[in-house]
Amino acid sequence: MKILIACEYSGRVRDAFAALGHDAMSCDLLPTEAPGNHYQGDVRDVLGEQWDLLIAHPECTYLTNAGVCHLHTDPKRWPKLFDAAEFFKLFLNAEHIPMRAIENPIMHGYAKILIGGVKQSQVVQPWMFGHMEQKATCLWLKGLEPLKPTNIVKEEMMLLPKNQRERLHYLSPGPDRWKERSRTYQGIADAMAMQWGGDVRQGEQEDLFGGAA
């Protein structure tokens, strides 16, 4: 498949698909952190091309429920919220791409209204894919089945101190804190690649739902 990974600089999701034989390209305003097929620039430059699958990670700063309190103390955030919602809808409405997945944290009520009230298809956690951490991530899916857990480690994770299982929340302030928080967990990236693409390296592609094509 020809796959666009939008708003990804880490290359994790791109490389997970590429490792299984797919033609995957990441796109971001930042350069890629890992060597690979990457377009550095505005995703609008390439979104209109013919893609089989889109996985998008639009900026969540002004959409996430975690930051809703700032809307009431900083009026300058409201225009940025409107822009962020429109950017999110750019992927939501990319009807020419038959399969789409858009990722974001749990949204606040204003954001939900601005994106048209479209409810997420599922909520996943890192501990569903082998990571001993918790960080709720919503997925809006079109033409795709919800991700199935691959390695549930919740019971073991709950034995850890809160600052370890919520590692990203407790990261020290710094210029790169947002980058670390935005990276897709490897277990989730691998699940996306295998369940939504399959291993096509031997010329036998698995279909999207696990059967042989």
Three-state secondary structure string covering 89-125: HHHHCCCCCCEEEEEECCECHHHHHHCCCCCCCEEEC
Residue-level pLDDT at 171: 60
Q: Which residues of the chain have pLDDT under 70?
A: 170-172, 174-182, 203-213
Query: Looking at residue 198, what is its pLDDT?
Result: 96
Contact call for residues 150 and 118 (beta carbons, < 8 A): no
Element (H, E) at 24: strand 23-28
pLDDT number for residue 202:
73
Q: What is the pLDDT of residue 205?
A: 46
80 near 32, Cβ under 8 Å? no
* pTM, 2 dp: 0.88
Domains of the chain: 2-196 (3.40.50.150)
Looking at the DSSP bridge assignments, the partners of residue 129 are 151
- Dihedral over Cα of 190, 191, 192, 195: its sign: positive
Q: Per-residue pLDDT tens for 8-58?
A: 999 999 999 999 999 999 999 999 999 999 999 999 999 999 999 999 999
**What gap in Å lies between CA 20 and CA 204, rounded to an integer?**
11
Would you state the pLDDT for residue 176?
Answer: 65
Using alpha carbons only, what angle is made at residue 112 by residues 47 and 162, rounded to the nearest 5 degrees? 100
What is the predicted pLDDT for the residue at 71? 84
The answer to whether 61 and 67 have CB atoms below 8 angstroms apart is yes
Q: Give the pLDDT of residue 179.
A: 58
